[in-house]
Structure 1
Amino acid sequence: MGPNVLPRLLLSSLSLLLLALLPHAVVAQADSVAAPRAPLAVGVYAQGSFIMSHTAALRHLVVSHPTGFELNFQQQTTGAEAWHGWYKYPKMGLTLTYYDFHNPVLGYAVAATPYLSKSLWRGPKHDFSFRLGAGLAYLTNPYNRDTNHKNNIASSAFNASIQLRFEYDYALTPHLGLVAGLGLNHYSNGATTKPNLGVNLPSVVLGLNYHEQRSPPQRNPNASTPADVGRTFYNVSTSLGYKQRTQGDRQKYLVNSITAAVGRRINRKSTLVAGAEGFYDRSLEAMLEDTTRAGLKQPDVKKVGVFVGHELLFGRMSFVSHLGIYVYEPYRSSTFYYERLGLKYHFTNLLFGAIDLKIHRGSADVIEFKIGAKL
């Protein structure tokens, strides 16, 4: 996993993921007679890790084996919303993680990470699943030019937290499960401030889960197809972001965009979109001021791109992926193409918000905080 890609996108995704959980809780409560109650599981895990040296610039920090402690809260979906059945009843949860890097340069990390967990193989006493989570982490010893210049992993205290994990839960009793897992924890601010190489922590996990009810009843396994499948819609949106140009330039530069898109929901889980958008990155103006000879006219730093994309739907929440190309780029500052990964949430049928990461060849460009309308 690259040091700059997903973390920037997920720096503020905690709020959107929590919003995704709210409709489930509200519907389950309002429909408590018809819908089985979503049971809770609580887990306590220990983690053992090492720091992955994904670049030579990190070798001076790969001198210890971090250890962690995790408190996990998990709820099994039971069909209170239609998408639960479409995805074979995933689990939703929140994990609180504490890591000791055993290195005074790096200090400690504390993270809160909402996640979704999909069972790959489930039986009466077995549950093998894959977890994907995104949230917020606090690192106690970020980079400081005067007092902690060796920490080039992160230059800010608040960072994104990403967690990927394969887990196996074996039922020791009807309520107690033994958990073993292999996963990856990643902390980074995605170059919002620099230096920022990010830290990858491959981890071995061992712990216990207490299940309120291990195999709850479920409903809506074949929920009806949504009414908007096969319909065309239009999106208009605008975004704001900021970025630091270089480690030496501590100023944050505003980046904004406008987007117009057309889309079509092709089935219960997927929407296809295509559109055009304009970008204005003020850090490029600062770069030109440093490199353009006095008296020469500077090229336009604004860009226009066209894109195609896909949205994977989870109720009001969706995971967004786009691929675009620049059709207007007088100042060539990056590759001719760009990617976008994001989380999108529909507050109403009209209004949506999103947190997107714009990427150039695997490296983060800017995190976009977006607001828009579906027409």
Structure 2
Amino acid sequence: MMRAFHFSRFILVCIAFLLILPALAQVPTAKVPPGPLIIGVYGQGSFIIAHTPAVKHLAVSHPTGLELNLQRQTNGSEPWHAWYRYPRIGMALVYYNYHNPVLDRSYAATIYISKSLFRLPRQELNFRLGTGLAYFTNPFNLETNHKNSIVSSRLNATMQMRFEYDVSVAKNLGVLVGLGLNHYSNGATTKPNFGINLPTVYLGMNYHQQRPFAPAVAAATDMPTDIGRDFFNLSTSVGFKQRSPVDQHKYLVQSASVLGGRRVSRKSSLLVGLEGFYDRSLVPQLRDTARITDNLPDVKKASVVFGHELLFGRLSFVTHLGFYFYNPYKSNTIYYERLGLKYHFTNQLFGAVDLKVHRGAADVVELKAGLKLYR
């Protein structure tokens, strides 16, 4: 039990580390004044989506919560600020009361980017996308809380997306109305892991240090020098997953990949390549389900993968679609998806946190390290 707990904590602490680094990287240089701050306080009301029959008994309450957040307006000190029409970078603390003793409460800390859809002197509409870590007070326990099929660990990853409309009611004050979706999951690090999806309505106030906003520097017109250049990404990853609520051992999952890519625009890179996987949880799964244990199929897998990276300076949002061409033990669908955050520590060295998914169900959280080599 203690070993399993340490594996879960290690993975989630690594996720937090890689999430915080991009936020720190957005600090403007000393030559450019920092962008203005926005401070917000929002109330929130939600309901739980019964996305599978196993969680219907919990999708009966209406969670309510409170959010405190701090946003910094990008100021043009980096070229990508202008490419995305000067988005905001924020950090938020989110509290939920689920009004259900099985779920109890959660506390989350997230970072996010908020992109303007339109912005006028007295009103604006923004789209916000964020991620972070959450702590649940009453997770699944086989003996004391076996009805909690949604959350099986105290620490979970969280993702949020929402639309926010802010209208000025005073010189520096705005009323905010929002509509969004919050998601909590541990990425199959422990099970059961059906996750929780919360459609949410927001109502609150924003304090704007400066409104309307004017960029501190002129918009960059230079194109990145690596547009049209080919490169190779060589990477390896590790992850840990639990096979079932009864088998609480954490099994090692490893992968290696060779991807070729090209930066096709200021915001995008396209990739294609090969990946190999070794999921050790499939070994006992295969033995448990096989009629005979002689000449069992290989649990290793290989695939061809296609990918896209949405670029924000050193940070990028990664989406992959892969198809297995070597898959002797057919434990899952022939394809998989991947969502992740990638950060370049240098021009060659990068790290990433990815979520690998089979047909909407989380398979494993991958901690990745790699090299980028230009042709």
The alpha carbon displacement at 1:220 in A equals 3.8
CA contact (8 A) 1:14 1:134 kept: no
User: What's the counterpart of residue 114 of structure 1?
Assistant: 111
Identical columns (%): 59
Alignment partner of 2:304 out of 303, 306, 331: 306
CA distance in 2: counterparts of 1:172 and 1:295, whole angstroms:
71
Q: Does 1:178 align with 2:180?
A: no
How many angstroms does 1:259 deviate by?
Answer: 0.8
Tell me by how many angstroms 1:249 deviates.
Answer: 1.4
CA contact (8 A) 1:85 1:223 kept: no
2-structure distance, mates of 1:300, 1:64: 45
**Secondary structure at 2:342's aligned position in 1?**
strand
1:269 matches 2:271? no
Higher relative contact order by CA 8 Å / sep ≥ 6: 1 or 2?
1
Q: Distance in 2 between matches of 1:300 and 1:59?
A: 37
Structure 1 Cα separation of the partners of residues 155 and 209 of structure 2: 34
Task: Give the one of 330, 333, 342 matched to 1:332.
Answer: 330
Partner residue, 1:87: 84
The 2-side partners of 1:221 and 1:149 are apart by 56
Q: For residue 123 of structure 2, what is the aligned residue in structure 1?
A: 126
Matches within 5 A, 1:180-259: 180-218=177-215, 219-259=217-257
Higher mean C-alpha displacement, 93-102 vs 185-194: 185-194
Secondary structure of the residue aligned to 1:29 is coil
Q: State the one-letter code of the partner of 1:117.
A: S
Structure 2 counterparts to residues 1-375 of structure 1, below 5 A: 13-25=15-27, 28-32=28-32, 36-218=33-215, 219-294=217-292, 296-375=294-373
The answer (yes or no) to whether the contact 1:241–1:369 under 8 Å persists in 2 is yes
Range with greater deviation from structure 2 (264-273 or 324-333): 324-333
Instruction: Measure how far apart 1:145 and its partner are.
Output: 1.0
- Structure 2 contact 187–193 (Cα < 8 Å) conserved: yes
For 1:341, what is the secondary structure of its paired residue?
strand
Unaligned runs of 5+ in 1: 1-8
Give the conservation status (yes or no) of the 8 Å contact 2:120–2:212.
Answer: no
Letter in 2 for 1:90: P
SS of equivalent residue, structure 1 residue 345: strand
Report the alpha carbon displacement of residue 21 of structure 1 after superposing the two structures with TM: 2.2
Q: Distance in 2 between matches of 1:220 and 1:307?
A: 39
What secondary structure sits across from 1:61 in the alignment?
A: coil
**SS at structure 1 position matched to 2:133:** strand
CA contact (8 A) 1:50 1:65 kept: yes
Partner SS, residue 66 of structure 2: strand
> C-alpha distance in 1, partners of 2:159/2:348?
30
- Give the letter aligned to residue 67 of structure 2: E
Give the deviation of 1:294 after TM superposition: 4.4
CA offset at residue 57 of structure 1?
A: 2.0
Mark the runs of 5 or more structure 2 residues left unpaired by the alignment. Answer: 1-10
Using the size of structure 2 for normalisation, the TM-score is 0.93
Equivalent in the alignment of 1:5 = none
Structure 1 CA distance for aligned equivalents of residues 96 and 22 of structure 2: 27
When structure 1 is superposed on structure 2, of 328-337 and 15-24 the one drifting more is 15-24
Q: For residue 51 of structure 1, what is the amino acid of its counterpart?
A: I
In structure 1, the residue corresponding to 2:284 is in which secondary structure? Answer: helix
Deviation at 1:331, TM superposition (A): 1.5
The AA in structure 1 aligned to 2:298 is D
* Aligned-partner Cα distance in 2 for 1:242–1:227: 39
Count, aligned residues: 362
Asked if structure 1 preserves the Cα contact closer than 8 Å seen for 2:122 and 2:212, the reply is: no
The one-letter code matched in structure 2 to 1:289 is R
Using structure 1 for the length normalisation, give the TM-score. Answer: 0.93
Aligned equivalents of 1:252, 1:295: Cα separation in 2: 23
- 1:280, 1:301 within 8 Å by CA — same for their partners in 2? yes
CA distance in structure 1 between the partners assigned to 2:325 and 2:343 by the alignment = 29
Q: State the AA in 2 paired with 1:154.
A: V
User: Which stretch shows the higher mean deviation, 274-283 or 58-67?
Assistant: 58-67
How far, CA to CA, are the matches of 1:240 and 1:108 in structure 2? Answer: 31
Between 1:289-298 and 1:259-268, the stretch displaced more is: 289-298
CA distance in 2, matches of 1:113, 1:311: 21
Q: Deviations over 1:66-123 (max 9, x none)?
A: 1101101011111111000000011110110111111111111100011111111110
- Matched-pair contact (CA < 8 Å) for 2:142–2:245: no
Q: 1:10 to 1:128 in 2, by over 3 A?
A: farther
The amino acid that maps onto 2:262 is R
Determine if contact 1:10/1:355 at 8 Å carries over to the other structure: no
Distance in 1 between residues matched to 2:329 and 2:223, nearest whole Å: 47
Stretches of 4+ aligned residues off by more than 6 angstroms: none
Q: What amino acid does structure 1 have at the position aligned with 2:20?
A: L
Measured on the aligned residues, the alpha-carbon RMSD in Å equals: 1.6
